[in-house]
Amino acid sequence: MEKNEEQLLENQNANLNAVEHSETINVENIEPSKNEFSGSSTKKFKSVEALSKAYENLEREFTKKCQKLNELMSENNTEVLPQYKKEDWLVKVSNFIAENKFAKDYTKQIADVLLEDEALAKKEDALSLAYSKVLNDNFKTKEELAEDEDFLNQFVYKNEKIKTKIIEDYLLEINNNQTVPLLSKVKGTSSVSSPKFIPKSLKEASRYAEQILKK
């Protein structure tokens, strides 16, 4: 019984010595680090307060950088989408047509440009750029318009002012005793010298022109 107690006491003493030795090692390991840190900090900063202030400034600057980075990432994510895929697209189209009344005549062509040119469609002013491109593609000189049958049929031959002007000029030639070609019932044309006639109204001039053309 006494031997067991002695053995137990020896074991406890051994454990206690091991703990004390371990603590000594830990302190020895930590102590140089403290000295090293203290030495390096005194070289760069005059005091602990200066070190703390420098750290706070660094933290604020880092926060600003992170915020700026988040803003740029948000802008980039928005720019990736074409304008026609954004939620406010219909509102933009409506406002654009209201500001450019002739744009509605080219809506299909504008849409084709936006669908074909993805880089252009991603720009904030995509509608204006597409509309300008369409207008440039459809531009024709006055000489070209004069030879364009579609344009003449739609905007010239159906225009009452233009038709009236043509009739007036034609009757003026007749009244000036100029020889003008008249349509005949047979192939070809014949030239006749018409008597002077001065119409008193547009209605009278039109009726007179119809009579001449029927001859």
Average pLDDT over residues 40-58: 72
Pairing of strands 180-183, 189-192: antiparallel
CA–CA separation, 130 and 96 (whole Å): 12
69 with 88, same domain: the answer is no
Q: What pLDDT does residue 111 have?
A: 95
Say yes or no to pLDDT of 35 above 50. Answer: no
Least confident of 113-117, 124-128, 163-167: 163-167
The alpha-helical segments, DSSP class H, found in the chain are 2-44, 48-80, 89-99, 107-116, 118-121, 126-138, 142-146, 149-151, 160-175, 202-214
> Where does a domain end: 139, 167, 186?
139
pLDDT in tens, 56-90: 888 888 888 888 888 777 766 555 789 999 999 99
Contact (Cβ atoms closer than 8 angstroms) between residue 117 and residue 81: no
Q: What pLDDT does residue 42 have?
A: 46
pLDDT in tens, 165-176: 888 887 787 777
> Where does a domain end: 92, 111, 139?
139
Say yes or no to pLDDT of 214 above 70. Answer: no
- Asked if residue 9 is part of any domain, the answer here is no
- C-alpha triplet 182, 186, 191: angle, nearest 5°: 30
- Asked if residue 162 is part of any domain, the answer here is yes
Contact (Cβ atoms closer than 8 angstroms) between residue 138 and residue 106: yes
61 with 97, same domain: the answer is no
- Asked if residue 172 is part of any domain, the answer here is yes
- In this predicted model, which residue has the larger pLDDT, 81 or 21? 81
CA–CA separation, 127 and 135 (whole Å): 12
CA–CA separation, 189 and 206 (whole Å): 21
pLDDT in tens, 135-155: 999 998 989 988 888 888 888
Residue-number span of the structural domain to which 59 is assigned: 46-75
- Asked if residue 21 is part of any domain, the answer here is no
- Asked if residue 208 is part of any domain, the answer here is yes
Contact (Cβ atoms closer than 8 angstroms) between residue 96 and residue 127: yes
For the chain, the domain total comes to 3
Q: What pLDDT does residue 25 have?
A: 42
Q: Which residues contact 87 (CB under 8 A, 6 or more apart)?
A: none
Say yes or no to pLDDT of 193 above 60. Answer: no
- In this predicted model, which residue has the larger pLDDT, 29 or 148? 148
- Asked if residue 6 is part of any domain, the answer here is no
For every residue of 83-133, DSSP letters joined together read: GGGSTTHHHHHHHHHHH-GGGGGGHHHHHHHHHH-HHHHTSTTHHHHHHHH
**pTM assigned to the model:** 0.42
Say yes or no to pLDDT of 10 above 80. Answer: no
